[in-house]
Amino acid sequence: MTLWIAFTLMAVVMQAVRTAAQKDLSRALSPMATTLTRYLYGIPFVALYLVVLLQTNSEWANSFNYAQLNNARFLVFATVAAIVQIIATAFMVKMFTLKNFAIATSFAKTEAIQVALFASVFFQDHLNVYGWVSVFIGVVGVLFVSGLKVGKPQAISSATIFYGTLSGALFAWTSLSLREASLSLDLPLVYSAALTLMYMVIIQTVICAIYITFKERSQWQKLMTLKKRGLFVGATSALGSVGWFTAMSLQNPALVKTLGQVEFFITLGITHFYFKERIKWQEMVGIMCIFASILLILYV
């Protein structure tokens, strides 16, 4: 199995678990405090991962020079990625409170095609024909699975469209920025991805902590009382981020995000086998589209 595929699949599983836990936390915390949770409690796990990498790959530790982090390209792209991901995550948490959550999620899941467009226009990282077809079919599949009703008009609020689409765009920009930051270090990509993640998580924790201290100070006490759930969110977030960061350092983020749509297989599998709910025809069409897009990725 190609390494980027393995890391993507790990990220998908961890993201599904983390999102469910984070949605639960959002009932007790503000959107920014919920966002801080994944970073604050994720730092120890990211640090542990980095230490393990260095302990098991001594040549990586010897090859690193702290001056490598002090280059404009890395600092700009890693900092931009850190800030944009905070905003994107806050928007995602806000989506949990919307009446049309499933529809908002559908708009957010256009992230894959937005990544492909941004990469092509701003970074000259072009997909071939198979890549574009794969991304497009995958997005269509996601729209079917996520709950957009075919042939049944729905009242979609402007907030649903705004938070959903902009969340997808911001996550897309995050993916491309962190890839550029990781590649700029000129180190083994698994290692550079871990360093980029460590830098970003520290920056994100500081930014969110400053915001909450001055704007939502009461959230600190609530956050501390939810330490066990916070650690769970932090651990799953860290593992998911390790997967995403490494996969997107190794491969075009558009293809990584398209493969990441296998998350829907997990969700529907749980729905069918655990909750004993029947899979609708619309969901089956979506599953087939996503499956076809994943097969196409193998030819890219």
**CA–CA separation, 294 and 205 (whole Å):** 35
**CA–CA separation, 139 and 113 (whole Å):** 7
Contact 115, 175 (CB under 8 A): yes
| pLDDT classification of 177: cutoffs 50, 70, 90 | very high
| pLDDT classification of 97: cutoffs 50, 70, 90 | low
With a CB cutoff of 8 Å and minimum separation 6, the contacts of 12 are 243, 260, 262, 263, 266
**Residue for token pair 């604050």:** 40
**CA–CA separation, 300 and 122 (whole Å):** 21
Residue 151 has pLDDT above 50, yes or no: no
Burial of 10 (0-12, 13-18, 19+ CB in 10 A): middle
pTM for the complete prediction? 0.79
**Range with top average pLDDT, 79-83, 109-113, 155-159:** 79-83
